[in-house]
Structures are given as structure tokens and as C-alpha cells.
Amino acid sequence: MGAQATLDSAAAAPRKTEPKTAKPGGAAIPYATITDTFSLVEATTKRLEILSLVTDLFRRVISRGGGPTNLLYTVYLCINRLCPDYEGLELGIGEGLLVKAIAQSTGRELVRIKKDLEAKGDLGLVALASRQNQPTMFRMQALTVPTVFHGLKEIASASGSKSQDKKLAVIKRLLAACAGDESKYLIRSLEGKLRIGLAEKTVLVAVAHAVMLERGAAEDELEAGTNVVKAVFSELPSYDIVIPALLEHGVDGLRARCRLTPGIPLKPMLAKPTRGVGEVLDRFDGQEFTCEYKYDGERAQVHGYTRDGRLEVRVFSRNSEEMSGKYPDLVAQMPRAIRPGVDSFVVDAEAVAWEPGADDASPGRLLPFQELSRRKRKDVQADNIAVRVKLFAFDLLYLNGEPLLHLALSERRRMLREHFVPVANEFDYATHCDCSTTADMQVFLDASVSSGCEGLMVKMLVGPDATYEPSRRSINWLKLKKDYLAGTGDSLDLAVIGGYYGKGKRTNVYGAFLLATYDEDLETYQTVCKIGTGFSEADLEAHYALLHPLEVSKKGYYDAGEAKPDIYFEPRVVWEVKAADLSLSPVYTAARGAVDARGISLRFPRFVRVRDDKAPEETTSPQQIASMYRAQATAGTRESLEDDEYW
């Protein structure tokens, strides 16, 4: 089946994409081919060397043939995922089960494995050492890439009453067949973290390079081709579709075949923070721009497509997770906001908690985000909903078979208004004002805050800089939050990786926490601060209930610096915090080396809220923390206003 066919079927009827197994005659790649590369990658920190090692791996895989599956599985094993994000199948098996599997498959006692884990702090190394102690009775068949991939998938999808037993059985089966370093990487994959310092963006570049080089491209063609692959992938973040298309048609044929497709969430465009109306006007000086209310809700990318004559609506989060189960009311409401003649669309919007007015004459009001965050994440029953949700649409990215990303915002907005209509208490356009003076903007900002919004989003409206830039935190979108104006700075989203036991009446809970930022290049968490204020007693109890099951025995792969919490947690929980300012610190490690040999820390951090819409890898990054520090140090300059690109 060609890539076009794959794409077409996805466009017409997005569904879980199950890659086919290797074609008959195609040689399965030994798992050791991948783990050998992992060892080499782990041994270096040089970006270019890592890129060339992974490119070389992919070239060998491609040249062995066997159809796109070999490359696809290899890529998934390198990024430690099993499918696109929106299909929601995840690794991250608990330490307890893995310890049990290692014990049972090597015949060692559980307590000894736990002791080793205390000493080594890395279950992968423990698995490796345990196997080395254990003479192999008979030679198992060597592991292959498809066997490992399917095994991991079987483990991640096991559900039901006997799921732990099922998982254990598959893990033991795989472990028994491991040779050399394989068990180390297998266990780390199961834990959900490879920790070899291989970032996904490097993997994507390596895929592009490998395919181009195998098709005879010259070195000087690589950069342009890679940019095409990055751009395509940010529109259609599915290796299941992009890799087969790339292998079959090369970079030149990719754009025409892989475009934004309803049902497959694209990575949203994000905004840069600014600290005042003046800074915004500096940036947009002489350009046409627009201000919109910045609603305090949850990003909702709403997709609609027609299948069997019926419109299907699906909602995705800013991390591309499916949220249709959390918002069955949104799914039901959306068709009422669509004008006749629309058969497919992607709307970018904010879902906001909403209190309807007492009668049709009163308009209702916005509620704070916390009201919505109490909802379960899945299987919400429509008749069981306490707080209503209203959608505020600010962009239209796709309409009736055509992506609109390349159009200017003015045009996308015109089409949004032409094809969608406000519905009381259900759907509206984001309130906007195309103002251009400081005074107008200040008035609009005040109006947004008094109606319950966080501030303004200021966006380029016309011209080539007004296109939609997926996955970018762009200087063409600026955010102006009310808090910046009060001088308290932007908030940060940080992962909770450690706890300190409470004192006095807080002895049954953690009294303070260690927060960290995720460094995706180094694949490690760097500490930012200890936080003990901003919590009510009820907060502390809720945090304890959530975090206690996440306790781990060792700091694992955290770059904790001199921070010494009583206990470490698996990185699952993300909090939004505010601080008085940022300072250099000999204790914490965030962004170490970026502005100083010391790390950057928060002074007087205060808990704001739980960010359960964010994964721990999506904390405010060390680079962002460094740029916040620089912006503070050089207050008033525009240093913070540089484009970031994720891919």
C-alpha cells in the first residue's frame, strides 16, 4: 500500500493506525543493532556525533529493505513511543513490576534487586548486572526490532483484571531473550525513559538525512530537505504516515502527500511572553496586528470530518491528547455552531468554564480554569456535568479539504466568522480589537481582565508573518498577562520531583516540594527550587494522595545538584508556580551553563495550580528559564523576543 493510500484513508476516516508487520522477504532488524547505537549515543554528548550515529542506524535499516515498518519501529524505539501521541498508548511501567520481572527472570531475590537499585539508581543497570550474574542455560533466539516493538505494545495495552500478570509474563519473555546490553535498554524503555540523551528532534532530522542520503542526495541538499520534513511533521505529527510517504516518494514528494488532516492533531502555535504594552508596540511597530482576550481555560483543537455522511467531532489538548472523553458536551455542542456547507474543519480555540445567565437576556459569565480542571480526564457522562464549558474560537486551520495555515490571520478569521456562528452559552469567537495605540490596548486589556480573562494575546494580522506556525513559540504571537504588569513575572510550569516531610501538624503530609525543569536535550530533570508556600491544608493532603504512590527509592536520572529532598517522585505531576524573581544558585541546576556556571532558581516561589493538561516533559524549559533570567537582568531590552522552534 502506497503512502498516498495510507494518507487518504486517514483523511477520510481517521482511526488508530496499526502499522503492518514487515513485508515477507524483508529482513527483521536485530534489536542489538539499535541497542549498540544507543550505547554509542549514551557515551557522547556531542550533538553532531549523535545525529550521525542515528542517521547511520536509520540508513542501515533502510538499506535492509522490508518496507517502511522496519524504519517505523526503529524510530518508535528511539523515541520510546509506540504510536502517535493522540492514540494515547504509553509506556511507563511502575518500578515494582519491573523489579519483580527482573527477580523472576534471573532467579534473584527481590530484596537483592531492590538493594542494587538503591546502590545504582538505574533499574536498567540493575537488570544488566542481574543477567550477567546468571549463567544462561540455553540460547534463546535473538530479539528483533518487531518482536520488541510488539512486546512493548502488548504490555502497554494490557488491561483488565489480569493485566499485571499479562504484563509480567511478556516482560519476562523479553528479558529472557536479551543478550549484551539489551536488557538495560529494554528496562529503561519499559520505565518510559531511555536516558541516552537522544532528543526527538534529533531523531526527526536523522530520519530526513537518512532517507535523503539513501536516495543519493548531496550533503548540501540536506538542510533544505530537513526543513521540509520538519514543516510537514509539525502539520502532520504522525510517523505512521510521514515515514512511509518519505520512503516511497522522498522529500520532494512529501508536501503534496502529507498535509494537515482532520483527526490528526497538529502541534499548536504558542506565544512569547511580554512584560508590557510598550514591549508589544515595539515589536509590532508599523505592522497590522490584533489583540484578543486571553481566555483562562484549556486549549482545545476541535476537529470535524464527515464519515458515512455524519459529522464526527473530536477535541484534542495542547499536547495532542484526545479530550473528546473529557468534553462530551463540547462534542455535542459543536455541530450547532457550524453553518451549512462545512464538512471538515480544524478550529483552534480555548475551552472555558462557563456560568450561563439566568435567562436568555443575560449573557452568562466566564469562570476560572480551576472549575474545569476538576473534571475527570476520561469517560465523562454528559448528564453528570456540573460546570458547563463554552468554546471561544480564535483560529480556523482547515476547512472543507483545505489547510489554511499559509493564509494570514485576517483571512482565517474572516473564514471562521463566515462558516461558524455564535451559540448562546456554547460557542463564540474570541473577543478581539484591532487597536494600535497604547491607550486603546490598555483599555482593552482592562476590559479583558474584568471579564475574567488572563490578559491579551496580540497577533500579527496581515502579511507573510501572519501565517499559522504549528509547534512554534513565535514572536508573531505575544501574550500580555495581567500579572506581568503587576511586576510578578510570568508563571512557570515545573515538575514535582521530590518531597520534604512536613513538620508540626504537617507530619502526615509533605510540607515542601522539589520542583524541576525538563531538559529535553540532556533527557534529564534539573532542579529549580524548593516550594513550601501557597498551599492550603487541603492542598497538601491532595498532593500527598497523588504523590505518595509516585515515590521512588532513588533520585534516578535527576540532576538534583545540592538539593536534598527526603524523598523523590516519578516525574508525573506538573504545577504552575509564581516567584518574586529568578536568581543564580549554587544549589539548583536549572539551565546550568546557559548564563553562568551556577543554575537558575526561583526566589519566593508560590504554588498557583496543578497543570494536569501538561506532561512532565512540557515544563517551562531550561532555555526559557535562562531567557526569563536574561530578560529580568536586562529589563526593558528585547532579548527575550526571539523565535523558539520545537522542531
Active site residues: 294
Nearer to ligand AMP, 87 or 350 (CB): 350
Q: Which of the residues 18 through 77 are near ligand AMP (CB under 6 A)?
A: none
Q: Which residue in the set 54, 123, 243, 271 belongs to the binding site for ligand AMP (CB under 6 A)?
A: 271
Q: CB of residue 249 vs ligand AMP: minimum separation in angstroms?
A: 34
CA distance 14 to 307: 9
Handedness of CA 471, 476, 481, 487 (dihedral sign): positive
* Residue 350 lies near ligand AMP (rule: CB under 6 A): yes
Q: CB of residue 476 vs ligand AMP: minimum separation in angstroms?
A: 12
| Secondary-structure percent of the chain, ordered helix, strand, coil, rounded to 5 | 40, 20, 40
Q: Which residue in the set 394, 429, 518, 535 belongs to the binding site for ligand AMP (CB under 6 A)?
A: 394
Q: Which residue in the set 64, 112, 299, 606 belongs to the binding site for ligand AMP (CB under 6 A)?
A: 299
CA distance 51 to 198: 9
Nearer to ligand AMP, 12 or 270 (CB): 270
Write b or e for each residue in 221-231: b if 16 or more Cβ atoms lie within 10 A of its Cβ, otherwise e.
ebeebbebbbb
How many positions of this chain bind ligand AMP (CB under 6 A)?
Answer: 13
Q: Which residue in the set 375, 472, 479, 598 belongs to the binding site for ligand AMP (CB under 6 A)?
A: 479
* Residue 272 lies near ligand AMP (rule: CB under 6 A): no
Interface stretch with ligand AMP, choices 70-78, 247-255, 288-296, 545-553 (CB under 6 A): 288-296
Interface stretch with ligand AMP, choices 3-11, 19-27, 73-81, 289-297 (CB under 6 A): 289-297
Residue type, 581: D
Q: CB of residue 431 vs ligand AMP: minimum separation in angstroms?
A: 9
* Residue 194 lies near ligand AMP (rule: CB under 6 A): no
Nearer to ligand AMP, 80 or 474 (CB): 474
Q: Virtual CA dihedral for 36, 38, 43, 46, nearest 10 degrees?
A: 120
* Residue 318 lies near ligand AMP (rule: CB under 6 A): yes
Is there a contact between 499 and 565 (Cβ–Cβ < 8 Å)? yes
Interface stretch with ligand AMP, choices 160-168, 290-298, 398-406, 462-470 (CB under 6 A): 290-298
Nearer to ligand AMP, 229 or 405 (CB): 405
- Name the residue whose CB lies closest to ligand AMP: 299
Is there a contact between 514 and 527 (Cβ–Cβ < 8 Å)? yes
- Residues β-bridged to residue 576: 493, 609
* Residue 294 lies near ligand AMP (rule: CB under 6 A): yes
* Residue 108 lies near ligand AMP (rule: CB under 6 A): no
Cα first-last separation, the chain: 29
* Residue 295 lies near ligand AMP (rule: CB under 6 A): yes
* Residue 292 lies near ligand AMP (rule: CB under 6 A): yes
CA distance 69 to 28: 9
Residue 643's SS3 state is coil
Handedness of CA 348, 350, 356, 362 (dihedral sign): negative
**Binding mask of the shown chain, residues 437 to 466, with x at each position contacting ligand AMP by CB under 6 A:** --------------------x---------
* Residue 196 lies near ligand AMP (rule: CB under 6 A): no
CB atoms within 10 A of CB 138: 4
Q: Which helix (H) or strand (E) holds 427?
A: strand 427-429
CB atoms within 10 A of CB 474: 21
In 3D, which of 534, 516, 536, 513 has the Cα closest to residue 525? 516
Question: For residue 447, what are the contacts with CB-CB under 8 A and spacing of at least 6?
Answer: none
Contact residues for ligand AMP (CB under 6 A)? 270-271, 292-295, 299, 318, 350, 394, 430, 457, 479
